[in-house]
Every structure is written in structure tokens, then in C-alpha cells.
Amino acid sequence: MNSLAGTMASLAGEIRLRNLTVSYNRHPAVHHVSGRFAPGSLTAIVGPNGAGKSSLLKAIVGLLPAADGAIERDHLQPADIAYLPQQANIDRAYPISVLELALLGHWRRSGAFGGVGRKGIAAARTALQAVGLEGFEDRPIASLSVGQLQRAMFARVLVQDAKVILLDEPFNALDARTIADLLGLLQRWHGERRTVIAVLHDFDLVRRHFPQALYLARRLIAWGRAETVLTAENQLAARRMAESWDEQAAICHTDTHTHTGHAA
Amino acid sequence: MSANMVYDFLAGPFADFPFMRRALVACFALALGSAPIGVVLMLRRMSLFSEAMSHAILPGAAIGFLIAGFSLPAISIGGIVAGLVVALAAGAATRATDQREDASLAAFYLIALALGVTLISTRGSAVDVLHLLFGSILAVDRPALLLVGSIASLSLLIMAAIYRPLLVEGFDPDFLRSVRGQGAIYHFIFLGLVVVNLMAAFQALGSLMAVGLMMLPAAAARYWTRSLVSAMALAALLAALSGYCGLLLSFYADIPSGPAIVLAAGTAYLISLAIGRQGLILHWHRRHLEA
């Protein structure tokens, strides 16, 4: 089980957001956010729907460009970042087996054309054991339950063996036992000094398991130790953020003052 | 009925007439090249995209026809250019405006189809229009056969090469982008293959029916197997069989080759729908398992 922790992520490198704005059609989804994810930190991103949580993750992965400001990733190659998208974007009818799904985690090394090899297959099997899917290797993913599919997706992240792990609503629609098992994996990654960032909705779960939290409502509400971030005042501040965007919004000129957050 | 008569009926037309032999070989090549593409189109829920593309190549082919008459290179190049332009224009319209891709595709292919028929009507006869819309096996001469064969060979090689990234791009595009998988490139290569293969089918099947050998065998094969590789092999086999039966039908019943071949493929589809392993009859009679 430990063979996957091959490269210890002790020098993961910091991820800094410098006055970051990410936008869709010029409307900001993430608006003037600054702060840093310390190497090896375990951070939950919380906030209402439409708060830009997924956009922030995508920007960190490099899937969305920064409309303004910048993301600095010290010493981090794209290969060092593993990203687990929301399940909604996956075509579950695909005739792909559980083992094949886990093997996709080798993409950085195998590429579109290279082989994976016996060691790679062994690593994928080990990852499937670690997520509790032993014996499911040859099952088509269409036959899996939502929870089993998410376990398989976590196995793919395990195989990726990345220094930074970004998870977009990883526990959506899962039962308590699956969440507990997958949380165990998160703790293990944290123990291996990997930087883990997860978008979550369950405040209790964040309080119990996440040292750091980032409260986002397009603008940064708070960023720091979870118990200081998940407060009633911050919740109220987030609620004041208009959920729908303003079609007639004027051009933003707030670049002179920025919202700063801290992560220990 | 003696064995000889059966042989004469089933093989006679091909033994006696060179144009029937050429048409048969062309159908076999088309089957090999486009059936795997059809399976991937189905998997990615793009069946209607191929239909739209097959109409989109018509105005280009018509322009080629107006310039050079029934000249294979002119019609082919015109058709491929038009197909690629419509594919890219529809894609760009979707990306730039929040419209869904099917809406912009429908708009573009209707315009293209109308434009194509209008163009041919200005110079050609009603027979020319029929040929371009429904195909003519007489159009499959030696150069056409070479073209179809080359396209099929190239398609198979390219499909084998881009198999993995193409499938992953359909399954989990966000993941592929997160590992810098260049999914868009493979997607566009694949769209190009669709257009080129439709152009190959255009000669024998005509604009309206070109998509038949691509989609119907693929749809039929999916009723028999869940595995992609066996679906591709089976689809190619069914397409080849449909080509053979369709040409016989076209020969004896004296109907255009395009509709005859597509009717044969349609029959294969309906039979698969009824008695395939994932088909209707087994679906009605299936008992559940113990666990």
C-alpha cells in the first residue's frame, strides 16, 4: 500500500494567488483573491453555489486562464498537480473498466501512446485495493454505484502520485461510510506532506477534518485556520453576495485595494 | 434450384460486370474505414453530427462538379473543404455564442444542403442531382476505387494511433486537459476523418445516404457486444455484408445503389435491435440474477 507514496511530497512548493480574477465572459467568477496554500497544507474551499470555487480550482490546475492577477506555483510542474473534476462531467456510459480508469492516472508518464508496463498495472491494482475496490478490476464503470465510481476516481488520483491534489466536491452524494473511507485517504495524503485542496459544502466535516479553510463568495471572505473561517459572521457576509450575476455590471476598477488571506 | 443457379444469383453480377466488382470492393473498403469511426461517433453521442456532415459536403462537391463535371478529384476536394468548413464553423459558432452545438449544426447543414442542390440545378440535369444525392455505382471507376481504398487504409491507421486520447477525451475531458492531454487536437483529427470518410462514401452512396454505412452497422453492432473493439470488428463485418446485399438488390431491382445498400444495413440494424444480446426480445424475457 505504501509503494504509491514513492515520491514523498515534502518539497511540494507553495501555491500563491496574487490578486487573482477568473472570469466567464468578462463577469468575474473569482474576484481579486490573494493568499497562499502552504506546502503540505490541507485546505477546504467553502462557499455558496456560484461562488467560484470550481473556477478557482480550474485556474490552479491551469484549465482556466487568470483574467487578472496571477497564480504562482513554485517548482511545481503541471505533472505535480492531480485534479479530480466533479462527477457530473464524466460520461458514465463509457465501456471502460475500473482498472482502465485507475490506469489513466499514469497519463503523465505514458502519454497518449506509451505503454504502462507491469509495474504500472501493479500500482493501479494497489490503488484499487487502497480505495476498497479489490475484485472490481474488470467491472465496467457503468455497473458501479456513485460511491464505487468515486472510489475508482480516487484510485486514479492515487496512481497519479502528485504533490498537489485538487478535489472538486469529492463527497457529493456519497454515503457516510464511503466519505469516511475517502477522508482516510485525504488524511494519508496530508500525512505524506502533499498539498490537498478540496471544494466542500459540509461545514461540520470541514471543522472536524480540515486544518485550513478558504471561504469564497467570488471575493475572498476569509482564509486561514478552519475554526476562524467558518464563523456566523462570514456566513452572513457570503450570503450578501448576489447569487446571479449582474448583466449590466460596470467595468471593475477595484484593482487599487486587494483582499488578502493568510494560510499558516 | 440448383447450386449453379444459386451461384449465378449470388456471384454472377460481380463475375460478369467489372463495375459491380469495383463497387463491391469499394463497399468493403468503406466498411473497414468508416465502421470503427461510426462506433466512436455513437459512443460520443455524435450520430447526428455525421448526418449533418454528410449533407454539408454537398455544396463543395457541387462546386467541384460545376467546374469540372463528374471529375473525381474536383468533387472530392470540394466536398472535403466544404465539410471541414461547416464542421469548424458550427464548432466556432457554438463556442462563441452559448448555443448548443446541435442547433448550429442543424442550421449550417440545412443551408449547405439547399445551397448544394441549388448549385447543381443551375447547370446539371435532374439526373445529375439524383446521382449526387443518391450515388451511382457507375461512378466508382478505378481512380475512385483507389481513393476509397487509400482513405480507408489511412483512417484505420490514424484511428489506431489516436484511439486512447480520443476515447479519454470523450470520457473525461476535464481530466485529459488537467494532464495536458491535448484532447482538442485529437478531436479535430477525428472530425477530419469523419468528413474524409463521408466523402469516400459519397461516390457510391450519394450525399443523402453516405452516412448509412458509417452509422447503421455501428448502431447494430452495439446490440451484440459491449466491448468497443469487438463492436468495431462486427460493425465492419455488417457494413461489408450490407454492401454486398445492397449491391445485389440494386442490380436485380434496378434501384440506385445508395438506398439499396442503406436498406440492407437498415435490415441488419432492425434484426439486431430485435434479437441482439442487448436487443428487445431478450430484454423482455430477461430474468434478474441472484446477486
State the amino acid at position B252 in one-letter form: Y
DSSP A206-259: HHHH-SEEEEEESEEEEEEEHHHHS-HHHHHHHHTS-SS--TTPPPP-GGGS-E
Residue contact B171–A108, C-beta within 8 A:
no
Provide φ and ψ at A198, rounded to 5°: -130, 135
Q: Does B230 touch chain A (CB under 8 A)?
A: no
State the amino acid at position B121 in one-letter form: S
* Beta-bridge partner residues of A20: A33
Cα separations in angstroms, A100 against A4, A186, B112, B167, B183: 17, 23, 41, 12, 18
Is the per-residue pLDDT at A256 higher than 60?
no
* pLDDT score at B103: 75
What is the 8-class DSSP label of residue A97? Answer: B
Q: What is the pTM of this model?
A: 0.81
Label residue B130 exposed, middle or buried (CB < 10 Å: 0-12, 13-18, 19+): middle
Residue contact B227–A95, C-beta within 8 A:
yes
How would residue A262 be classed by pLDDT, with cut points 50, 70 and 90?
Answer: very low
Q: Does B178 touch chain A (CB under 8 A)?
A: yes
Report the CATH number that the domain containing residue B50 is assigned in CATH. Answer: 1.10.3470.10
Q: Does B160 touch chain A (CB under 8 A)?
A: no
Residue contact B172–A107, C-beta within 8 A:
no
DSSP reduced 3-state for A167: strand
User: For every one of its 291 residues, what pLDDT tens digit does chain B have, with 9 covering 90 and above?
Assistant: 577 888 888 888 888 888 888 889 989 999 999 999 999 998 888 888 888 888 888 888 888 888 877 677 788 888 888 888 887 877 676 666 666 667 777 787 788 888 888 888 887 677 777 777 777 776 678 888 888 899 999 999 999 999 888 888 888 888 888 887 777 788 888 888 998 998 888 877 877 778 888 999 999 998 888 888 899 999 999 999 999 999 999 889 988 888 888 999 999 999 999 888 777 777 777 666 666
Chain A residue with minimal CA distance to B172? A90
Domains annotated for chain A, with CATH where assigned, are 3-76+163-263 (3.40.50.300), 95-158 (no CATH)
Task: Mutate one of B179, B190, B229 to test the A interface: name it (highest A CB count within 10 A).
Answer: B179
Give the DSSP H/E element, type plus range, for residue B273. helix B257-275
* pLDDT score at A2: 43
Residue contact B226–A96, C-beta within 8 A:
no
Please give, rounded to a whole number of angstroms, the shortest distance from the CA of A72 to a CA of chain B: 17
* pLDDT score at A31: 83
Q: Per the structure, how many domains does chain B have?
A: 1
* pLDDT score at B291: 61
As given in the structure block, the three cell numbers for residue B148 are 476509397
Q: Are B87 and B30 in contact (CB under 8 A)?
A: no
What is the 8-class DSSP label of residue A143? Answer: G
Query: Sheet of A42-46: strands edge to edge?
Result: A81-84, A164-168, A195-199, A42-46, A212-217, A219-225
**Which residue among A63, A82, A108 sits closest to B177, beta carbon to beta carbon?**
A63
Is the per-residue pLDDT at A172 higher than 50?
yes
Label residue B7 exposed, middle or buried (CB < 10 Å: 0-12, 13-18, 19+): exposed
Is the per-residue pLDDT at A48 higher than 50?
yes
Closest CA to A218 of A59, A26, A30: A30
Please give, rounded to a whole number of angstroms, the shortest distance from the CA of B163 to a CA of chain A: 9
The whole-angstrom separation of Cα A12 and Cα B39 is 43
What is the 8-class DSSP label of residue B9? Answer: H
Share of chain A above pLDDT 90, in %: 12
Is the per-residue pLDDT at A245 higher than 60?
no
H helices of chain A, in order, are: 53-61, 98-103, 107-110, 117-130, 146-160, 176-191, 203-209, 226-229, 232-239
Q: Does B95 touch chain A (CB under 8 A)?
A: no
Residues of A whose CB is below 8 A from B187: none
Residue contact A112–B186, C-beta within 8 A:
yes
Q: Does B96 touch chain A (CB under 8 A)?
A: no
What is the 8-class DSSP label of residue B260? Answer: H
* pLDDT score at A259: 46
**Which residue among A94, A107, A140 sits closest to B181, beta carbon to beta carbon?**
A107
Q: Does B121 touch chain A (CB under 8 A)?
A: no
**Which residue among A90, A108, A113 sits closest to B172, beta carbon to beta carbon?**
A90
The whole-angstrom separation of Cα B32 and Cα B238 is 10
Q: Does B234 touch chain A (CB under 8 A)?
A: no
DSSP reduced 3-state for A71: strand
Residue contact B161–A140, C-beta within 8 A:
no
Residues of B whose CB is below 8 A from A81: 178
* Beta-bridge partner residues of A46: A215
* pLDDT score at A8: 45
Please give, rounded to a whole number of angstroms, the shortest distance from the CA of B142 to a CA of chain A: 36
Residue contact B172–A85, C-beta within 8 A:
yes
State the amino acid at position A198 in one-letter form: A
* pLDDT score at B101: 67
The residues of A whose Cβ lies within 8 A of any Cβ of B are: 58, 61-63, 78-79, 81-83, 85, 89-91, 94-96, 104, 107-108, 112-113, 140, 156
Q: What is the ipTM of this complex?
A: 0.77
Q: Does B4 touch chain A (CB under 8 A)?
A: no
Please give, rounded to a whole number of angstroms, the shortest distance from the CA of A108 to a CA of chain B: 6
Q: What is the pLDDT of residues A63-92, one digit of tens each?
A: 888 888 888 887 777 778 899 988 767 888
The answer for residues whose C-beta is within 8 angstroms of residue B92's C-beta and 6 or more apart is none
Q: For residue B100, what are the domain limits?
A: 3-290
Residues of A whose CB is below 8 A from B176: 107
Is the per-residue pLDDT at A12 higher than 60?
no
Please give, rounded to a whole number of angstroms, the shortest distance from the CA of A258 to a CA of chain B: 29
Cα separations in angstroms, A216 against A170, B66, B162, B171: 18, 62, 40, 30
More confident residue, B237 or A261: B237
What is the 8-class DSSP label of residue A47? Answer: -
Share of chain A above pLDDT 70, in %: 85
As given in the structure block, the three cell numbers for residue A126 are 494497489
As given in the structure block, the three cell numbers for residue A46 are 467553502
Is the per-residue pLDDT at A239 higher than 50?
yes
Chain A residue with minimal CA distance to B227? A95
